Amino acid sequence: MKNKIIINIISSAILVIPASLVYASPPKAPDINISSVGKQIIVNFDPIAGAEGYRLYYAEFPSLNRLHSIDLRNKTQFKTILDDAHYFVSAVKSYNSDGESGYSNIEFASLNEDLLGGETTLFDESSHAFSSPAPNLDTKSLDVHLAGDEEFEQTFVTSPATINPGLGPLFNNTSCEACHPKDGRGAPPEEGGKLDTMFLRISIPGTRADSCGAPKPVPGFGTQLFQKATFGVQPQADVTVHYKEETRHFADGEAYSLRTPSYDVKPYTPFPADIMFSPRVAPTVFGRGLLDAIPEATLLALADEQDIDGDGISGKANYVCDPITKKRVIGRMGLKANNADTFAQNAGAFHNDIGITSPVHPVDTSANFPQADGKADDPEITQQRLDDVTFYVQTLAVPARRNIGKDAVKQGQLIFGLAGCGSCHVPTLKTGELKESNPEKKIIESVSNQTIHPYTDMLLHDMGDGLADNRPDHLADGKEWRTPPLWGIGLTKTIHNHTFFLHDGRARNLMEAIMWHDGEAVKSKDYVNQLNKEQRHFLIDFLNSL
């Protein structure tokens, strides 16, 4: 694919410089323009009358924490090679014996910034933007993808049945699509409502000795609460959600409200006193093959568990059991990175969410409970079916960025960097090679060796007391959550007609989600809190472009 550069010109942004560099009568600042040839970046500007030379200033996005400069002398052109995994911000000043000018227009530059999913990116802003095949699939791969798509949408029913038997007897939903409509995110119930596209994970203190530190099941319940059951079977619990509103204020006095959910749980038999709950809304599923393909070394290089650099961000990797090899591996999927990869996540979802056994999980979730059906029909789906669904999810297209050329979006991107959001929501990563989950183990070319912009580090971070579920999950403690990717987040309203965010859907819009950040993200939240109303809108405009 021919490289393309997207240049963002932020004319009104200001870089702070020491007062010692400000002069009374500087020459005028130039107006710079950036072009590219392949990966070569070319900065051009016209000569300024009275200028004796020019100085190029630049900083890497998103950190923006170190301003560099290059003395161009009297040259009005600068060339460099830009790595496709980096962004930079640049501006030029002219100078003479009287001092320096102000900054020129400030520009954002990156290669293929609109291609969030690399070559899997699809330019689609419709309600199908999350549910289309990656455009770089070959014919054979597309056939497997479409087969998996059909399986993803299948509704399971109670055994015995000719088509899709095996539902339950305990379950949370009847199909993959039911929890992930249009391959997107679920939604929490309104006040007093029942759970549908979300559920409660449960456990008691301690870990299972045979599962790399997985949470300890609740006797009589397991590790996931089932609020639905087949005809004639008693569900494990009835769950109702309630919310408490709290009014807060930005630094400029504008009010906003945050809502805290609580859960009224009525179990079929009393819970132990030390039970722990963790609400989870179903997240989006596109782009997961790309996240599977990010090398472990890349993720570990982003980790700083002891905060050695002192920036207040101490991301760490979770480690879990691979369901096939039983070996300890890095966790990638799940809201606490509590699943090894997409295959493990899918096998677990069939087993827990729908009550469907497979070769990976051949024992029904209700086997040791009063709700057990006693049927000798396991496993209820084949390995091939599980592999097809996994390939489907791994090869969904990622929607492209939108509105990159709008000034408000450019301003918001700069604010995103200055607020420190990119410390966890890392814009750019590179994938390695990913192999199929089926016995052939062929490389999935469509997601391998791609430069992507997911805006995540895939690591666990302390998000503070407000978002804490107080339930450990492998190495994740009760305050830690995996950084969710931001790609596609601006299309949530278009696809789902809602904007509920965070692990339990408590945030009703992106700004509420931001203001719930605490713990390691408190500095970023405080930065946003002191912005004026227009700047806050710029930040949301940028997020909506993703």
Pick the CATH number of 5-113 from 2.60.40.1190, 3.40.50.300, 3.30.750.24, 2.60.40.10: 2.60.40.10
- Which of the residue ranges 3-7, 349-353, 419-423, 491-495 would you say has the lowest mean pLDDT? 3-7
Predicted TM-score (pTM) above 0.85: yes
Rounded to whole angstroms, how far apart are CA atoms 243 and 263? 9
Helix axes 383-394, 342-349, angle to 10 degrees: 120
438, two tokens:
């089926």
Q: What percentage of the chain has pLDDT greater than the value 70?
A: 95
CA angle (486, 314, 250) in 5-degree steps: 60
Decide if pLDDT at 34 tops 50. Answer: yes
Decide if pLDDT at 210 tops 80. Answer: no
Q: Given this model, what pLDDT does residue 87 score?
A: 78
Mean pLDDT of 514-539: 98
Q: Given this model, what pLDDT does residue 38 score?
A: 80
Rounded to whole angstroms, how far apart are CA atoms 320 and 265? 29
Which residues neighbour 443 within 8 Å (Cβ) at sequence distance 6 or greater? 433, 434, 435, 436
Residue pLDDT, tens place only, 256-284: 999 999 999 999 999 999 999 999 999 99
Do the beta carbons of residue 102 and residue 93 sit within 8 Å? yes
Residue pLDDT, tens place only, 290-337: 999 999 999 999 999 999 999 999 999 999 999 999 999 999 999 999
Decide if pLDDT at 500 tops 90. Answer: yes
- The per-residue DSSP string of 153-185 comes to HPPPBPSS-SSSB---SEES-SSHHHHSGGGS-
Q: Given this model, what pLDDT does residue 17 score?
A: 43
Residue pLDDT, tens place only, 128-167: 999 999 999 999 999 999 999 999 999 999 999 999 999 9
Q: How many CB atoms lie within 10 A of CB 274?
A: 10
What is the domain partition of the chain in residue ranges? 5-113, 119-176+184-233+245-400+427-454
Which residues neighbour 142 within 8 Å (Cβ) at sequence distance 6 or greater? 133
Residue pLDDT, tens place only, 347-361: 999 999 999 999 999
- The per-residue DSSP string of 140-153 comes to HHHHHHHHHHHHHH
Q: Which of 447, 418, 421, 453 is nearest to 432 (CA)?
A: 447
Rounded to whole angstroms, how far apart are CA atoms 15 and 546? 24
Q: Given this model, what pLDDT does residue 12 score?
A: 36
- Which of the residue ranges 259-268, 436-445, 533-542 would you say has the lowest mean pLDDT? 436-445
Q: Which residues pair with 111 in a beta bridge?
A: 5
Residue pLDDT, tens place only, 97-120: 999 999 998 787 777 889 999 999
